[in-house]
């Protein structure tokens, strides 16, 4: 056994050495090229002592709330310049700029219908009434007295993206109404048990405290499965754009149902058939019937690097990486094609692979410098396979708007430019 281990270690060292040698040569070319075009910057390159080592940096306390490096100033939410107004609007996460699976709070996508309210948490209340034994009103302090839990889940708008052109140039343009965070709060099941559900209770109508009083109907089964009343995100209190001081979290359900600025839970026997579940967030099928209450976000994936708006610097090794997710559970595998869907190979999934959370995938790739089309497809643990756009349209027709979980291919030109292959 020891000889086998020695052989494996020798092989691994050889592979690493070859990769590093190749990487060093590539890096050297990049450095020399940069130095030739920006001669003034060579003073900060080895073996010289860089300018930032010659004096103390910013003192502690100059920025009480941490901020990104000024060199990352372009990594911001993607907000359309064509919006007629910003009251009912959205801001997209720059997915192509991020690593891992957690979205920083400042880059988490936004969608709101009546602007972002400014709510004093000391005056905010959650009312729970209807088909319960004991109607209750909770302050934020009351809710924080319950046992808390933290879980990592994604949120995605069901209109991410739509079915009509233009489809967008970047990963953010296409599916930027998607983010993932660690959420902390209270089990909704626990709170409902405190009030005592009556046997005839089948739905919970959630209402937000924004100017739109956004209202959605939640099936009682989901409320008792994994729903949460959330007050913190990624370790800090919710931001106003994310529902401060309290929001509903329904892992795997379309984003609109995860009501922000939550103020009321009305337990009923029937759904409310509110605006957001009749004229909006429902779709017309080819036979004229409406597809309503389409709660779950289906399995989906997208390559974020290389992706639209980026450029491969040179032929050779490039890592293909992206994200996959499913509202029905865990991602079982992700397959990647580098030949326009003619063949597929399995990508490596980065741990942790969690239920109803983003999963990062990676595939090493040697680009030969010729035009190529790359794409990914997700398979979740129910066996569902992410469809092509043509397959989706064949089933749902041209009138659909929500729940587009199609495969999105990227075209790589001979000069390395990456564009949307369906645009």
pLDDT at 391: 95
Q: Before 47, cis peptide (omega within 30)?
A: yes
pLDDT at 85: 72
Query: Are residues 280 and 398 both part of a single domain?
Result: no
Q: Domain limits at 316?
A: 300-420
Query: Are residues 170 and 111 both part of a single domain?
Result: yes
Across-strand partners of 154?
A: 180
Separation between Cα atoms, residue 68 and residue 70, nearest integer Å: 6
- DSSP H helical ranges for 326-388: none
- Pairs from 107-111 (Cβ < 8 Å, separation ≥ 24): 107/75, 107/76, 107/77, 107/179, 108/179, 108/181, 108/233, 108/239, 108/241, 108/242, 109/77, 109/155, 109/157, 109/176, 109/177, 109/178, 109/179, 110/77, 110/241, 110/242, 111/157, 111/177, 111/255, 111/256
Separation between Cα atoms, residue 339 and residue 341, nearest integer Å: 6
- Quickly count helices (H) and strands (E) in the chain: 6, 23
For residue 389 the two structure tokens come to 């756009």
pLDDT at 38: 52
19 is a domain residue:
no
Query: Are residues 372 and 285 both part of a single domain?
Result: no
CATH, residue 105: 3.90.420.10
Of the residues 238, 262, 291, the one at which a domain ends: 291
Q: What is the total count of domains within the chain?
A: 2
pLDDT at 283: 87
Of 331, 335, 347, give the one whose Cα is nearest residue 380.
331
Question: Which class for 173: exposed (0-12), middle (13-18), buried (19 or more C-beta within 10 A)?
Answer: buried
Q: Is the dihedral of CA 385, 160, 251, 220 positive or negative?
A: negative
Query: Are residues 304 and 277 both part of a single domain?
Result: no
Query: Are residues 268 and 363 both part of a single domain?
Result: no
pLDDT at 293: 93
Separation between Cα atoms, residue 363 and residue 377, nearest integer Å: 13
Provide the whole-model pTM. 0.89
27 is a domain residue:
no
Query: Are residues 139 and 242 both part of a single domain?
Result: yes
pLDDT in tens, the chain (423 residues): 444 434 444 444 444 444 444 444 343 333 334 433 454 568 999 999 999 999 999 888 778 899 999 999 999 999 987 777 778 889 999 999 999 999 999 999 999 999 999 999 999 999 999 999 999 999 999 999 999 999 999 999 999 988 877 688 999 999 999 999 999 999 999 999 999 999 999 999 999 999 999 999 999 999 999 999 999 999 999 999 999 999 999 999 999 999 999 999 999 999 999 999 998 899 888 888 888 999 999 999 999 999 999 999 999 999 999 999 999 999 999 999 999 999 999 999 999 999 999 999 999 999 999 999 999 999 999 999 999 999 998 988 888 889 999 999 999 999 999 999 998
380 is a domain residue:
yes
Q: Are 412 and 306 in contact (CB under 8 A)?
A: yes
Question: Which class for 242: exposed (0-12), middle (13-18), buried (19 or more C-beta within 10 A)?
Answer: buried
Of the residues 291, 310, 325, the one at which a domain ends: 291
For residue 129, the surrounding DSSP H or E stretch is strand 125-130
Query: Are residues 261 and 329 both part of a single domain?
Result: no
Separation between Cα atoms, residue 57 and residue 340, nearest integer Å: 49
Q: To the nearest 10°, the Cα dihedral for 339, 341, 345, 346?
A: 130
- Pairs from 216-222 (Cβ < 8 Å, separation ≥ 24): 216/256, 216/257, 216/259, 216/272, 216/274, 216/276, 216/277, 217/271, 217/272, 217/273, 217/274, 217/277, 217/293, 218/248, 218/250, 218/257, 219/295, 220/267, 222/250, 222/253, 222/295
What 3-state class would DSSP assign to 106? helix
259 is a domain residue:
yes
Of the residues 291, 311, 335, the one at which a domain ends: 291
For residue 3, the surrounding DSSP H or E stretch is helix 2-37
56 is a domain residue:
no
63 is a domain residue:
no
Q: Are 184 and 148 in contact (CB under 8 A)?
A: yes
Of 228, 297, 229, 247, give the one whose Cα is nearest residue 116.
247
Strands 125-130 and 262-268: parallel
Query: Are residues 232 and 102 both part of a single domain?
Result: yes
Query: Are residues 307 and 178 both part of a single domain?
Result: no
DSSP state of 229: E
pLDDT at 80: 84
Query: Are residues 247 and 108 both part of a single domain?
Result: yes
Separation between Cα atoms, residue 24 and residue 30, nearest integer Å: 10
CATH, residue 352: 2.60.40.650
211 is a domain residue:
yes
Query: Are residues 157 and 243 both part of a single domain?
Result: yes
Query: Are residues 287 and 314 both part of a single domain?
Result: no
12 is a domain residue:
no
Of 267, 265, 296, 291, give the one whose Cα is nearest residue 280.
291
């Amino acid at each position: 056994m020891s000889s086998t281990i020695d052989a494996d270690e020798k092989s691994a060292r050889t592979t690493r050495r070859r990769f590093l040698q190749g990487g060093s040569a590539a890096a050297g070319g990049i450095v020399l090229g940069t130095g030739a075009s920006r001669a003034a910057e060579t003073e900060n390159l080895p073996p010289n002592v860089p300018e930032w080592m010659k004096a103390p940096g910013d003192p502690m306390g100059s920025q009480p709330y941490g901020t990104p490096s000024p060199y990352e100033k372009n990594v911001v939410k993607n907000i359309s310049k064509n919006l007629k107004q910003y009251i009912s609007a959205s801001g997209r996460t720059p997915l192509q700029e991020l690593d891992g699976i957690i979205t920083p709070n400042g880059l988490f996508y936004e969608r709101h219908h009546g602007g972002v309210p400014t709510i004093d948490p000391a005056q905010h209340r959650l009312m729970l009434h209807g088909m319960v034994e004991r109607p209750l009103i909770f302050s934020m302090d009351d809710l924080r007295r319950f046992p808390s839990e933290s879980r990592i889940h994604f949120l995605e708008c069901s209109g991410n993206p739509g079915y009509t052109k233009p489809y967008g140039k970047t990963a953010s343009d296409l599916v930027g109404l998607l983010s993932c965070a660690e959420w902390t709060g209270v089990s909704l099941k626990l709170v409902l048990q405190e009030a005592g559900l009556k046997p005839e209770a089948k739905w919970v109508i959630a209402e937000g405290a924004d100017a739109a009083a956004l209202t959605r109907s939640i099936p009682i089964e989901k409320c008792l499965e994994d729903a949460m009343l959330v007050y913190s995100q990624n370790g800090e209190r919710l931001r106003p754009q994310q529902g401060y001081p309290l929001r509903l979290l329904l892992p795997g359900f379309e984003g609109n149902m995860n009501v922000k600025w939550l103020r009321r839970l009305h337990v009923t026997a029937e759904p409310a058939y509110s605006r957001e579940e009749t004229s909006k967030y429902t779709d017309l099928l080819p036979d004229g019937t409406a597809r309503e209450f389409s709660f779950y976000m289906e399995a989906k994936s997208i390559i974020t690097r290389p992706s639209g708006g980026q450029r491969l610097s040179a032929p050779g090794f490039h890592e293909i990486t992206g994200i996959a997710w499913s509202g029905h559970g865990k991602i079982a595998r992700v397959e990647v094609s580098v030949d326009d869907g003619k063949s597929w190979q399995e990508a490596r999934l980065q741990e942790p692979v969690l239920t109803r959370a983003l999963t990062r995938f990676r595939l090493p790739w040697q680009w030969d410098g010729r035009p190529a089309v790359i794409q990914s497809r997700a398979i979740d643990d129910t066996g569902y396979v992410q469809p092509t756009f043509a397959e989706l349209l064949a089933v749902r027709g041209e009138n659909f708007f929500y729940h587009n979980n199609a495969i999105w291919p990227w075209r790589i030109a001979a000069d390395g430019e990456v564009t949307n292959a369906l645009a």
